[in-house]
Structure 1
């Protein structure tokens, strides 16, 4: 069984690791290349 991680929305890298969960229980990911943290399918706009 292969685990498929999303690609980084910032740099399109596939070097992604799980990074805990956010307040509503969604999986949080972190890019190993650029260090950005993100959620796969966010429901709200990102804060810059």
Structure 2
């Protein structure tokens, strides 16, 4: 079982070493988190690379 990430700072730390490193992470509605400043043309690829599975 994985670790629960429920803090924007923890999520930002988890994105280090990925294409999303350095992007701002903010808390959104309903327990969601938003990663900002992602180029829409590269959004799908960046998300795929951020998935550690």
TM (norm. structure 1) is 0.29
Give the structure with the higher percent strand.
Answer: 1
Give the structure with the higher percent helix.
Answer: 2
